[in-house]
Structure 1
Amino acid sequence: MDRTEKRDFVASLAAVFAETSMVVVTRNDGLTVAEVTDLRRRMRAAGATYKVAKNRLATLALEGTRFDGIKPMLTGPTALAWSADPVAVAKTAVEFAKTNERFVLIGGALGVQTLDASGVKALAELPSLDALRAKLLGLIVAPATRIAGVLQAPAGQLARVFGAYAKAGDGEAADAA
């Protein structure tokens, strides 16, 4: 890379860091091309991006961003993965690390919060953003159906009580005649 290419790369990486919510730092010591291609395919399917970047250029791109805390993690053969959905990128990286011992999670950052490898794994155990949205929608809809059921129940009970009184009243009227 010449200087202008490096400058453009740093600027594009800095723009990515400004837009994303989660960055995962990994060590990919000895991954084959097929394994990296498989990892990139999985990341892309999850809405994430995986990129091998020179540590010096990544450090320059991190300067002044909220992910500044991951600079000490950038030593050796590292790669970065990022996504707007923090759970998706963490889950994909953790799942790939389980199947490939040469792919090691170093840590990451969720906004200004720096995470170690166990923090990224804990984040991966959370449900995805879409699953959380579905659960939240279910919680919002459930009270409405319960309220409708509760409101209908007293009316039904009142109708049964009035029906019982009517029957009792008819029985007393028949006894009096």
Structure 2
Amino acid sequence: MKIRFKIKEDKKQFRKHKRQAERLSSSRAEVGWIGDREQVLKAVFNEYGANIPVTDKMRKKLLTMGVHLRDDTHFISVPERPFLRAGYDAYEGALNKLMQRLVEQSLAGTITPEKALERAAKELKKHIQSHIEKGSFAPNSKLTQKLKSGNHPLIDEKTLMDTLEYEVHMK
């Protein structure tokens, strides 16, 4: 007995999947402070720590706020508070699973590559904001507590958290 069969490829469907995969692989999403230089500096100083040189202008501004620095104070130290790295690391497994589902949906045509990346970026943004709010970080210095009227590192009127953005770049 002979059995014959023929495999028929759906070239149109294959090309569609290939285009979707190419668009996804050549595109990217960014989560961060896009275009807000002040918040970028705050984020970098807190993420990696910093020694900020004390200038005469800074001394005068602090004096108007009721803070007197000693003459031998040449730097203000900001301890490392890795909220971006730690927030991403804590969410990486779930983000990978989400991305796998979104890639499958994109290849199936139930979601566009743009929407897939946007959804992933939105979820990462939400998780980093939550990490900023709930994470345990090096405490604020006495000076910072006085200036902020509080002791929640990374949060002063939630500006850093609220200005976190995402962008999707498609090619």
Please identify which structure carries the higher helix content. 1
Is TM-score (shorter-chain normalized) higher than 0.5?
no
Q: Tell me the TM-score normalised to structure 1 length.
A: 0.22
Q: Which has the higher contact order (CA 8 A, sep 6+)?
A: 2
Q: Tell me the TM-score normalised to structure 2 length.
A: 0.23
Please identify which structure carries the higher strand content. 1
